């Protein structure tokens, strides 16, 4: 972030939230994620079957579906962990994710939070965030890296956003489950991602924690695009966003929560399980 841009944004509290400018990313068409006709099979089992999925820039989208519907596999394809057998997957209108490696995809601004919180247990909360910071990660650079004042501020801001400012010196391994989830979201935010893929954030949380998480995710939308995979229907309802239902590897229904819940196909799939 250059000094000029920083000056510009002085009215904003959360400076770091402004996503970085990524070269080659073209959001002029309004779509940040574009998946078309994607299919992948594992040992004969079709995990993803002619999937079409579009996310608009700045949108908060929920992805639901029964177990085995392919939600995690879909995320794997987006982040480059799995390559589909056919189909296309674009970031913006010009970046072909299928031709990029995992670290490259992570560098251009797609961040993923996994189901199981994987924080660095032996590091403090602060150190976790420091490690996740965006920026060059070469060996020599890292060795000589010193935390600048701006960077320190940034970490403090994220800490406040995720609600862990009082725990910053605590070892991440000692946090509660919900706190670990927030820390992970925080680590994700340190990378200034444009698109966040959040896998089951509400799992294992108390109601208060869930409320806070809804707030957090909602506030992220706009500057970021967020896709949330969830099972907890109350949580999804509270997010009040567009919902996509996945079933057997393809999209079954899409719309607001009410629309989707009254869709007979969806009812059959969920009740018939």
Partner 1 sequence: MFMTRILEGDRGGQVFLVILLAVMIAVPILNGLPVDNPLHVSTYTVTLLGKYLTYALLAVAVDLVWGYLGILSLGHAAFFALGGYAMGMHLMRQIGERGVYGHPELPDFMVFLNWQELPWFWNGFDQFWFAILMVMVAPGLLAFVFGWLAFRSRVTGVYLSIITQALTYALMLAFFRNEMGFGGNNGLTDFKDILGFSLQADGTRIGLFIASGVALAIGYLACRALVKSRLGRVAVAIRDTEDRTRFIGYKVEHVKLAIFTFSAVLAGIAGALYVPQVGIINPGEFAPLNSIEVVIWVAMGGRATLYGAVLGGIGVNYAKTWFTAAFPEIWLFALGGLFVLVTLLLPRGIVGLWRRKRAES
Structure-token pair, residue 196 = 């966040």
Token pair of 223 as six digits: 């500057």
Contact 193/224 with Cβ under 8 angstroms? yes
Question: In angstroms, what CA-CA distances link 103 with 73, 109, 112?
Answer: 18, 10, 12
Rg value, the chain, Cα = 19
Closest approach of partner 1 to the CB of residue 181, in Å: 14
Q: Which of 7, 139, 149, 271 binds partner 1 (CB under 8 A)?
A: 139
What is the distance between the alpha carbons of residues 238 and 52, in angstroms, rounded to a whole number?
25
Shortest Å distance, C-beta 192 to partner 1: 12
Region from 42-50, 83-91, 137-145, 159-167 binding partner 1, contact rule CB under 8 A: 137-145
Q: Which of 56, 82, 106, 219 binds partner 1 (CB under 8 A)?
A: 106
CA distance 109 to 269: 34
Stretches 58-66, 113-121, 161-169, 220-228: which one binds partner 1 (CB under 8 A)? 113-121
Q: Between 10 and 146, name the residue whose CB sits nearer to partner 1.
A: 146
Nearer to partner 1, 180 or 247 (CB): 180
Asked if 191 touches partner 1 (CB under 8 A), the answer is yes
Nearest distance from residue 154's CB to partner 1, in Å? 15
- Alpha helix locations (H) across the chain? 3-8, 71-79, 102-108, 125-132, 139-144, 149-162, 177-189, 207-220, 233-239, 257-262, 264-272
Residue 148 to residue 17: CA distance in whole angstroms: 18
Q: Which is nearer to partner 1, 59 or 76 (CB)?
A: 76
Contact flag: residue 143 with partner 1 (CB under 8 A):
yes
Q: How far is residue 246's CA from residue 45's CA, in Å, rounded to a whole number? A: 16
Task: Please pick, from the candidates 55, 125, 187, 266, the single residue that binds partner 1 as defined by CB under 8 A.
Answer: 187
Rule CB under 8 A: is residue 150 a binding residue for partner 1? no
Contact between 118 and partner 1 per CB under 8 A: yes
Work out how close the CB of 26 gets to partner 1 at its nearest, in angstroms, rounded to a whole number: 23
Tokens 């070269």, residue located: 23
State yes or no: residue 120 binds partner 1 (CB under 8 A): yes
CB of 39 to partner 1, least distance (A): 25
CA angle 186, 188, 194 (to 5 degrees): 120
Closest approach, Cβ 142 to partner 1, in A, equals 4
Of 142, 206, 240, 256, the one binding partner 1 by CB under 8 A = 142
Spatial distance between the Cα atoms of 110 and 171, rounded to a whole number of angstroms? 27
Of 124 and 248, CB closest to partner 1:
124
b/e map 20-30, b = 16+ CB within 10 Å: bebeebebeee
**Positions that interact with partner 1 (CB under 8 A):** 102-103, 106-107, 112, 118, 120-123, 127, 130-132, 137-139, 142-145, 187, 191
């Amino acid at each position: 972030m250059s000094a000029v841009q920083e000056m510009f944004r002085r009215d904003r509290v959360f400076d770091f939230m402004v996503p970085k400018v990524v070269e080659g990313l073209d959001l002029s068409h309004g779509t940040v994620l574009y998946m078309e006709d994607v299919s992948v099979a594992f040992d004969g089992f079709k995990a993803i079957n002619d999937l079409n999925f579009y996310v608009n820039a700045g949108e908060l989208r929920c992805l639901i579906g029964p177990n085995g519907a392919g939600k995690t596999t879909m995320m794997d394809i987006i982040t480059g962990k799995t390559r589909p057998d056919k189909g296309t997957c674009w970031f913006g209108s010009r970046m072909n994710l299928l031709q990029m490696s995992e670290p490259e995809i992570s560098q251009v601004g797609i961040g993923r939070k996994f189901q199981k919180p994987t924080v660095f247990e032996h590091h403090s909360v602060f150190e976790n965030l420091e490690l996740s910071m965006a920026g060059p990660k070469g060996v020599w650079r890292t060795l000589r890296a010193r935390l600048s004042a701006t960077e320190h501020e940034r970490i403090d801001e994220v800490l406040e956003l995720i609600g862990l400012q009082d725990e910053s010196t605590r070892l991440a391994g000692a946090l509660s489950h919900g706190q670990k989830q927030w820390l992970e979201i925080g680590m994700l935010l340190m990378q200034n991602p444009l698109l966040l893929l959040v896998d089951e954030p509400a799992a294992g949380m108390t109601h208060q924690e869930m409320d806070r998480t809804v707030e957090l995710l909602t506030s992220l939308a706009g500057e970021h695009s967020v896709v949330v995979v969830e099972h907890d229907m109350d949580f999804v309802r509270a997010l009040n966003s567009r919902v996509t239902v996945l079933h057997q590897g393809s999209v079954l229904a899409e719309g607001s929560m009410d629309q989707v819940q009254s869709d007979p196909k969806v009812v059959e799939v969920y009740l018939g399980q």
